């Protein structure tokens, strides 16, 4: 297919999700905003031939470009447009910022908006430009302008406009996330900081040894306990429960999982916690199902590091034998990230899990840069939509587009989809419209301890 024919095709849902994953893959702890935006520009320039892109950041008054990034164009080209007051009719980008709307210049040599600035870009041979304002997702404020330039006098194709419009909200989300971290005007050198504060992990050797001892003692004394959160069908019946570990320490109080789980992974004994949780939950849920004369799926998270260990399958079989838990009702949740680390090894592990008659679910789906087509080649049962897509799904079109694409693909492959992190009726409604049939989150029920679990199971209907 020629580049002209390819450009005329409207952006497919699968292309959109892969582009989203490609762009956000680079957004990790400590990476400057400049590098993330350049990654976005690189994506656009790969998708469209004969196109060069820029992103210009606006000040809080929407009157000045405070910084900008390019990929293939030289930075010298945009320097003259920084830190000067903009006005309606000042080039294509300045006009887009002031008007707060897309502005298209088919021929820079003939457009009067470029009369005072044409000489600045003439050395670069650019003939056309179209600029799109990027808004703060939580306000009507323009925080940046995205521009596409061409060496030909032309207007954008349908696919080019569709692509820019599809991703402009994502770019706005990225910039606004950096703004939230700094709590002030964002700058290109600002580094992203993950909400999880790794500084809370013990750093000195003595502190780490004490913390390791505290966790191992917690396991020996059975301080760490499973909690259970229901997975609900669209008919408001119980399909299953996810096991979520909690640590009510007798002296320290409730210790959150995002503190001790990363530590255990760093120290190399996360598999001990996985085995402990799996056996503990299987034993007490098996007893509960016998007491209540019911059955449902029990899902348990397994760490990426654990599934690659040679004794993983043997340990799982031992737990099933010891607890007499029905294998077909056990689902192991493996994060998409762990699958992508080594897809071939992960596929072998999945085959072995399935040979035990247990299920395999993919957790945090959609967060990793990969082709969605890999799902066609793995014998998995369920994918769980990552909660980050659900949070603003009733407001953010990017999240809506991603969720609908994933749900449609899963339906095509006869896979079930669970939307996790559902907190409102509005979120549930949007997901149901997209065809999602399984839900999990605080809107339905918080994770509960065993006593509350017993009471809860008396009041609800179990899906057949």
Closest CA to 245 of 387, 418, 444, 449: 449
pLDDT, mean of residues 449-454: 94
Q: What is the pLDDT of residues 66-90, one digit of tens each?
A: 999 999 999 999 999 999 999 999 9
Domain spans of the chain?
A: 3-182, 198-459
- The CA angle 449-292-323, to the nearest 5 degrees, is 70
The per-residue pLDDT for 452 is 95
Q: What is the DSSP letter of 152?
A: S
CATH topology for the 198-459 domain? TIM Barrel (3.20.20)
Q: What is the pLDDT of residues 383-392, one digit of tens each?
A: 999 888 898 8
Give the predicted TM-score (pTM) of the model. 0.70
**Is residue 298 scored above 50 in pLDDT?**
yes
Q: Do residues 273 and 300 make contact, with C-beta atoms less than 8 angstroms apart?
A: no
The per-residue pLDDT for 9 is 45
The per-residue pLDDT for 124 is 92
Closest CA to 348 of 359, 357, 339: 339
What span, in angstroms and rounded, lies between the C-alpha atoms of 365 and 419? 10
For helices 205-220 and 270-292, angle between their N-to-C axes, nearest 10 degrees: 20
Q: Strand, helix or coil at 437?
A: coil
* CB atoms near residue 354 (< 10 Å): 15
Q: Do residues 350 and 322 make contact, with C-beta atoms less than 8 angstroms apart?
A: no
Q: Strand, helix or coil at 180?
A: helix
Q: What is the pLDDT of residues 155-210, one digit of tens each?
A: 988 888 888 887 888 888 888 877 765 545 566 666 555 544 444 544 555 777 88
* Helix residue ranges per DSSP H, 224-376: 257-267, 270-292, 304-307, 312-323, 336-341, 343-355
* Architecture per CATH, 3-182: 2-Layer Sandwich (3.30)
Q: What is the pLDDT of residues 343-393, one digit of tens each?
A: 677 788 888 999 999 999 998 887 665 556 677 778 889 999 988 889 889
**Is residue 462 scored above 50 in pLDDT?**
yes
């Amino acid at each position: 297919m020629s580049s002209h024919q390819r450009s005329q095709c409207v952006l497919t849902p699968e292309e959109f999700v892969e582009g989203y994953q490609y762009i956000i893959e680079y957004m990790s702890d400590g990476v400057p905003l400049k590098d993330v935006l350049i990654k976005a520009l690189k994506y656009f320039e790969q998708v469209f031939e004969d196109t060069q892109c820029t992103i210009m950041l606006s000040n809080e008054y929407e009157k000045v470009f405070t910084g900008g990034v390019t990929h293939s164009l030289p930075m010298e080209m945009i320097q003259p447009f920084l830190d000067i007051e903009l006005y309606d009719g000042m080039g294509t980008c300045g006009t887009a910022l002031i008007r707060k709307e897309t502005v298209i210049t088919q021929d820079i040599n003939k457009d009067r908006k470029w009369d005072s600035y044409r000489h600045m870009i003439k050395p670069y041979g650019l003939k056309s430009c179209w600029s799109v304002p990027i808004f703060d997702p939580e306000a009507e404020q323009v925080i940046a302008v995205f521009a596409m330039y061409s060496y030909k006098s032309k207007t954008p194709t349908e696919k080019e406009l569709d692509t820019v419009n599809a991703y402009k909200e994502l770019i706005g989300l990225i910039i606004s996330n950096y703004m939230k971290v700094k709590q002030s005007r964002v700058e290109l050198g600002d580094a992203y900081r993950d909400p999880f504060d790794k500084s809370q992990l013990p750093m000195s050797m003595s502190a780490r040894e004490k913390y390791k001892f505290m966790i191992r003692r917690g396991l020996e004394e059975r301080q760490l306990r499973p909690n259970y959160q229901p997975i609900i069908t669209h008919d408001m019946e119980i399909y299953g429960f996810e096991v979520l570990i909690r640590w009510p320490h007798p002296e320290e109080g409730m210790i959150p999982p995002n503190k001790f789980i990363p530590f255990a992974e760093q120290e190399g004994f996360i598999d001990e916690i996985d085995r402990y949780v799996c056996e503990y939950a299987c034993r007490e849920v098996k007893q509960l199902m016998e007491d209540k004369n019911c059955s449902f799926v029990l899902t348990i998270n397994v760490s990426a590091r654990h599934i690659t260990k040679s004794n993983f399958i043997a340990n799982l079989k031992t737990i099933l034998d010891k607890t007499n838990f029905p294998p077909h009702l056990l689902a192991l949740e493996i994060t998409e990230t762990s699958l992508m680390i080594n897809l071939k090894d992960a596929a072998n592990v999945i085959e072995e899990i399935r040979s035990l008659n247990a299920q395999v679910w993919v957790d945090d789906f959609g967060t990793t840069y990969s082709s969605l087509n890999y799902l066609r080649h793995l014998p998995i049962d369920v994918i769980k939509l990552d909660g980050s897509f659900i949070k603003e799904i009733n407001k953010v079109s990017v999240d809506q587009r991603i969720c609908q694409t994933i749900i449609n693909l899963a339906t095509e492959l006869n896979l079930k989809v669970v939307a996790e992190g559902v907190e409102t009726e509005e979120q549930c409604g949007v997901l149901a419209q997209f065809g999602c049939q399984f839900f999990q989150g605080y809107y339905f029920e918080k994770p509960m301890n065993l006593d509350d679990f017993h009471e809860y199971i008396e009041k609800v209907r179990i899906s057949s």
